[in-house]
Structure 1
Amino acid sequence: MIICQCAAVSDGDVVRAVEAGAHNLSYVCQTTGAGQDCGSCVFSVRRVICQHEGAQRDTFLEVEGAAS
C-alpha cells in the first residue's frame, strides 16, 4: 500500500529500508524519500516501522525534522 503519495513510497519500501539497516524514522525517510515533501506521511511511516516484525518501538525514535 502506498503510504507516501508525494514520493510513491509503499509500506513494503519502508520494511525493506528497515531490513537494510535504517535504524530510525529520519533514516527511513532519507532512504525511501518518504516525508521529504509535505511530511503528512511521517506518522504512517513510523507506524509501519513499529509494526514491522521484530521492530522494537523504543529503537525507532522520532527525530525532529524527519520531514525536512
Structure 2
Amino acid sequence: MFAPLLQAAGVPGLLFRILAVLVVAGVVVLVGRVVLQIAWRLVTVAAVAIGLVLAAMLLLPAVVGF
C-alpha cells in the first residue's frame, strides 16, 4: 500500500526492505510473547493439577485406611 508512495518519494528499495523486515520481526515477537504467555499459564495449571493428584494419591490412602 505504501510501497509505491515511498518509492515515488525517493526512498531506496533497500531501506524499504529493511523496514519491512523490522516490521515483520516486530509482529513475530509480539505474537510470540502472546503465545508464550498462554503456554506458561497452561504449564502452571498442569503443574498444579498434577501436584494435587499426587497429593491426593499420597494422602487419601492414609485417610481411608488402605
In the superposition, the TM-score normalised over structure 1's length comes to 0.28
User: Where is the strand percentage greater, Structure 1 or Structure 2?
Assistant: 1
Structure number with greater CO (CA < 8 Å, separation at least 6) is 1
In the superposition, the TM-score normalised over structure 2's length comes to 0.29
Rg comparison, structure with higher value: 2
